[in-house]
């Protein structure tokens, strides 16, 4: 994630800071149904959308698009006005938590890179809007995804968010595929 002013955000201690996020979406293959891309956070492995601090010299929507590239390798058309925001507690390296408000900008994905700055540090997954909304932990983000996609969330079905695969599990899956491929060549 990118910071402004060498990693410091302007504002007084205890004041709610702002981040920007991209809400990556596309039409499902051969359909008019939307799909939403979620990424795992690096530390907690929760499902989130690409987000980061505002960037000096860049409008917020362009900073959100930059985060989508850095965290998920995405290119696309981003809206220049946020569709909403949501609050969350940002865990700092010191262990302290700071309240942050995240402005969300829809990003229609037009391309996906084979490599990007944070490849291997996060897991990416395209989901239906209902799956994506139910996978995120922040209730306001859940509702924002549902409103954006114009879907109703089942009131009685609010399962616990599915944890993103751990880096060890991802490495083991890759190793298993390589071993299977090597076995198949003999």
Q: pLDDT tens digits for 17-72?
A: 999 999 999 997 777 789 999 999 888 889 999 999 999 999 999 999 999 999 99
> Which pair of tokens denotes residue 42?
């690096």
Tell me the residue range of the domain where 152 lies.
5-185
pTM of the model: 0.76
Number of structural domains the chain divides into: 1
C-alpha dihedral over 5, 61, 138, 110, to 10 degrees? -130
CATH number at residue 95: 3.90.79.10
pLDDT tens by residue, 135-152: 999 999 999 999 999 998
pLDDT band at 129; cut points 50, 70, 90: very high
Contact partners, residue 111, CB within 8 Å, separation at least 6: 74, 75, 76
């Amino acid at each position: 994630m990118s910071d402004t002013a060498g990693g410091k955000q302007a504002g007084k201690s205890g004041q709610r800071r702002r981040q920007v996020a991209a809400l990556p979406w596309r039409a499902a293959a051969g359909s008019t149904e939307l799909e939403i891309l979620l990424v795992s956070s690096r530390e907690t492995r929760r499902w989130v959308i690409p987000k980061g601090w505002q960037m000096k010299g860049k409008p917020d929507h362009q900073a959100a698009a930059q985060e989508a590239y850095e965290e998920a390798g995405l290119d696309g058309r981003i809206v220049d006005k946020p569709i909403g925001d949501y609050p969350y507690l940002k865990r700092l390296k010191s262990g302290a938590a700071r309240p942050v408000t995240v402005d969300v900008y829809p990003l229609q994905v037009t391309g996906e890179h084979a490599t990007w700055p944070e490849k291997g540090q996060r897991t990416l997954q395209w989901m239906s809007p209902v799956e994506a909304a139910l996978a995120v932990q922040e209730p306001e983000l859940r509702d924002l995804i549902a409103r954006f996609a114009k879907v109703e969330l089942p009131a009685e079905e609010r399962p616990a968010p599915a944890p993103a695969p751990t880096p060890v599990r991802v490495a083991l899956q890759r190793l298993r595929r390589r071993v299977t491929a090597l076995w198949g060549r003999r």
